[in-house]
Structure 1
Amino acid sequence: MSEQKQTPSSSERRVVIAGAGMAGVQTAVALREQGFTGPVTLIGAEPHQPYDRPPLSKAVLLGKAEDSAFDVDFAALDIDLRLGVEVTALRAADHEVDTERGPVPYDVLVVATGAHPLTLPGSEGVPGVHLLRTLDDAVRLGPVLERRHDVVVVGAGWIGAEFATAAREAGCAVTVVEAADRPLAGALPAEVTAPMRAWYAESGADLLTGARVAHLAPGEVRLSDGRVLPADAVVVGIGARPATDWLTGSGAALDPGGALTADDRLRTSLPDVYAVGDCASFPSARYGERLLVHHWDNALQGPRTVAADILGAAPEPYDPVPYFWSEQFGRFVQYAGHHAAADTLLWRGDPADAAWSVLWLREGTPVALLAVGRPRDLAQGRRLIEQRVPVDPVRAADPSVPLKAAVR
Structure 2
Amino acid sequence: MSEQTQETAPSDARRVVVAGAGMAGVQTAVALREQGFTGPVTLIGAEPHQPYDRPPLSKAVLLGKAEDSAFDVDFEDLDIELRLGCEVLGLRPADRVLDTEAGPVPYDVLVIATGAEPVRLPGAEGVPGVHLLRTLDDAARLRPLLAEKHDVVVVGAGWIGAEFATAAREAGCVVTVVEAAGLPLAQALPAEVAAPMARWYADAGVELRTHTRVRSVEPGAVLLDDGTRLPAGAVVVGIGARPATGWLTGSGIELGEQGEVVADHRLRTSAPSVYAVGDCASFPSLRYGGRLLVHHWDNALQGPRTVAANILGEAAGGEPAVYDPVPYFWSEQFGRFVQYAGHHADADRTVWRGDPADQAWTVCWLRDGRLVALLAVGRPRDLAQGRRLIEAGTPLDPDLAADPARPLKSAAR
Deviation per CA, 1:146-165: give whole Å up to 9, x if none. Answer: 00000000000000000000
Residue of structure 1 equivalent to 2:337: 332
Residue of structure 1 equivalent to 2:270: 269
Residue of structure 1 equivalent to 2:63: 62
Residue of structure 2 equivalent to 1:140: 141
**Which whole-Å CA distance do the structure 2 matches of 1:256 and 1:388 have between them?**
30
3-state SS of 1:84 partner: coil
Contact between 1:10 and 1:311, CA under 8 Å: does it hold in 2? no
Residue of structure 2 equivalent to 1:121: 122
Residue of structure 2 equivalent to 1:3: none
Residue of structure 2 equivalent to 1:50: 51
TM-score by length of 2: 0.96
Residue of structure 2 equivalent to 1:200: 201
Contact between 2:151 and 2:232, CA under 8 Å: does it hold in 1? yes
Runs of 4+ in 1 over 6 A off after TM superposition: none
The amino acid that maps onto 2:392 is Q
The amino acid that maps onto 1:351 is P
Describe how 1:39-188 pairs up with structure 2 within 5 A. 39-188=40-189
**Which whole-Å CA distance do the structure 1 matches of 2:143 and 2:358 have between them?**
33
**Which whole-Å CA distance do the structure 1 matches of 2:50 and 2:324 have between them?**
30
Residue of structure 2 equivalent to 1:235: 236
Matched, 1:19 2:24: no
**Which whole-Å CA distance do the structure 2 matches of 1:265 and 1:240 have between them?**
24
3-state SS of 1:93 partner: coil
**Which whole-Å CA distance do the structure 1 matches of 2:354 and 2:391 have between them?**
23
**Which whole-Å CA distance do the structure 2 matches of 1:176 and 1:396 have between them?**
35
**Which whole-Å CA distance do the structure 1 matches of 2:378 and 2:279 have between them?**
27
3-state SS of 2:128 partner: coil
The amino acid that maps onto 1:307 is A
Residue of structure 1 equivalent to 2:294: 293
Contact between 2:386 and 2:408, CA under 8 Å: does it hold in 1? yes
* CA apart distance, 1:316: 3.4
Superposed CA RMSD in Å reads 0.8
Contact between 2:150 and 2:234, CA under 8 Å: does it hold in 1? yes
The amino acid that maps onto 1:137 is D
Question: Aligned to 1:370, which of 375, 378, 394?
Answer: 375
Matched, 1:347 2:348: no
Residue of structure 2 equivalent to 1:321: 326
Residue of structure 1 equivalent to 2:225: 224
Residue of structure 2 equivalent to 1:5: none
**Which whole-Å CA distance do the structure 2 matches of 1:136 and 1:390 have between them?**
47
**Which whole-Å CA distance do the structure 2 matches of 1:397 and 1:190 have between them?**
20
The amino acid that maps onto 1:171 is G
Question: Aligned to 2:386, which of 378, 381, 384?
Answer: 381
* CA apart distance, 1:304: 0.3
Contact between 2:309 and 2:321, CA under 8 Å: does it hold in 1? no
Contact between 1:195 and 1:352, CA under 8 Å: does it hold in 2? yes
3-state SS of 2:125 partner: coil
* CA apart distance, 1:314: 2.7
Contact between 2:310 and 2:321, CA under 8 Å: does it hold in 1? no
TM-score by length of 1: 0.97
Q: Which stretch shifts more, 9-18 or 270-279?
A: 9-18
**Which whole-Å CA distance do the structure 1 matches of 2:69 and 2:190 have between them?**
33
Contact between 2:371 and 2:394, CA under 8 Å: does it hold in 1? yes
* CA apart distance, 1:315: 3.9
Question: Aligned to 2:403, which of 383, 389, 398?
Answer: 398
**Which whole-Å CA distance do the structure 1 matches of 2:265 and 2:197 have between them?**
35
Deviation per CA, 1:139-178: give whole Å up to 9, x if none. Answer: 0000110000000000000000000000000000000000
Deviation per CA, 1:269-316: give whole Å up to 9, x if none. Answer: 001100000000000010011000000000000000000000014343
Matched, 1:304 2:309: no
**Which whole-Å CA distance do the structure 2 matches of 1:229 and 1:273 have between them?**
48
* CA apart distance, 1:10: 7.6
Unmatched 5+ residue regions in structure 1?
1-8
**What is the percentage of aligned positions where both structures have the same residue?**
78
Contact between 1:10 and 1:310, CA under 8 Å: does it hold in 2? no
**Which whole-Å CA distance do the structure 1 matches of 2:215 and 2:56 have between them?**
32
**Which whole-Å CA distance do the structure 1 matches of 2:12 and 2:267 have between them?**
20
**Which whole-Å CA distance do the structure 2 matches of 1:130 and 1:314 have between them?**
47
3-state SS of 2:217 partner: strand
**Which whole-Å CA distance do the structure 1 matches of 2:325 and 2:231 have between them?**
44
The amino acid that maps onto 2:265 is D
Residue of structure 2 equivalent to 1:6: none
3-state SS of 2:94 partner: helix
Residue of structure 1 equivalent to 2:6: none
The amino acid that maps onto 2:46 is A
3-state SS of 2:27 partner: helix
**Which whole-Å CA distance do the structure 2 matches of 1:255 and 1:43 have between them?**
24
3-state SS of 2:29 partner: helix
* CA apart distance, 1:227: 1.0
The amino acid that maps onto 1:130 is H
